[in-house]
Structure 1
Amino acid sequence: MTDFPMLKLAPEDGAISFARSFVKSDAFMQLFREGMGLVELTAGYLDGDGRAESAALAREVSLTYATESMRLTTRLMQIASWLLVQRAVAEGEMTAEQARTEKNKVRIAEPMLKPSSAEAARLPERLRDLIAHSIRLQERIRHLEDQMSEAAAPAAPANPVRGQLESLQARLGLIR
């Protein structure tokens, strides 16, 4: 498992900023290289060996191939977009606030339905491997995104009425 940097207090708002420290870490750069490498590897496969392999498939399997290769490409474009936005923040090309605005445009989608095991078994092995790798990478990024969102979320403001009620209860001896 990758070591994550220590969480740091953001001086401007006092909130814990996992995002700011993570996107500048070696762990993020490894993730970035893995994601962009997977994009390149997949593009090379789909434009090369994948074309030949898909042409050799039975008609009913070629539909599954087309569907899964489109899903794979979509998943990888979402991953690449997310990684590029995070790198832009790390390099100071974009503020964290701009990244949050972009987050609504560059959303890591919920995992897509997987083909049945019988359908998947008929797909070329390299395509299955690329799909599996992209799904694992997507899950890791979704987990990071959740952590980053939680760390960036402002703390709920204190309820002023609750403090008054507790003070009153203490004076009346209801709280010990």
Structure 2
Amino acid sequence: MERPAFFHRTYDEAMDLMVEARNYMRFIERRERIEAGATVGLRMSCEAMRVTSRLTQVMAWLLTQRAVHVGELSPEEALAESSRLSGAGVCLDESFTHDASLPSGLRSLMDRSYRLYVRVARLEEMMVRRVLH
């Protein structure tokens, strides 16, 4: 059974972004945070966690969709509150996306993870309308 077209592209994008974020945070972010000083460093840590939250939520949602597609979950089960995309309060906050005091690499991850989260939220909303209404 072939997965929906959106799945392959979105999954690949999310996975690539997760790997990029991991590498950035492992090899670059710590050094930049130390060089930035306490206030900016704290903001960097908070925003790195926000990127991680967005990507974790997106991957969990995509894996749930894969379970639906292979018959492990029904569409209704996948749309139960416990399986839905969550964390909107944290994930949709883009207050510091354009903060020039943050390193450009982190700002790029912030922007792309935000756009991916929003896109997945729209996909989920489309599914809710189709399946539950």
Q: TM-score range by the shorter chain?
A: 0.7 to 0.9
Q: Does 1:42 align with 2:58?
A: no
**TM-score, length-scaled by structure 1:** 0.67
Structure 1 counterpart of 2:113, from 106, 114, 134: 134
Q: Does 1:90 align with 2:69?
A: yes
Report if the CA contact (8 A) 2:76-2:131 is conserved.
no
The CA deviation at 1:116 is: 7.4
Could you tell me which runs of 5 or more consecutive residues in structure 1 were left unpaired when the two chains were aligned: 1-22, 155-176
Report if the CA contact (8 A) 2:21-2:109 is conserved.
yes
The CA deviation at 1:45 is: 0.9
CA RMSD of aligned residues (A): 1.9
Could you tell me which runs of 5 or more consecutive residues in structure 2 were left unpaired when the two chains were aligned: none
Structure 1 counterpart of 2:11, from 7, 32, 37: 32
- Which has the larger helix fraction? 2
Q: Does 1:104 align with 2:85?
A: no
Cα-to-partner distance string for 1:113-137 (whole Å, 9 max, x where unaligned): 52274xx211111100000000110
Report if the CA contact (8 A) 2:61-2:85 is conserved.
yes
Report if the CA contact (8 A) 2:17-2:113 is conserved.
yes
Which entry has the higher C-alpha Rg, 1 or 2?
1
Cα-to-partner distance string for 1:19-41 (whole Å, 9 max, x where unaligned): xxxx9222221111111221121
Q: Distance in 1 between matches of 2:86 and 2:8?
A: 18
Q: Distance in 2 between matches of 1:105 and 1:146?
A: 13
**TM-score, length-scaled by structure 2:** 0.86
2:47 is aligned to 68
Deviates more, 1:136-145 or 1:46-55: 46-55
- Give identity over the alignment, percent: 31
Could you list the structure 1 runs, at least 4 aligned residues long, displaced by more than 6 angstroms after superposition: none
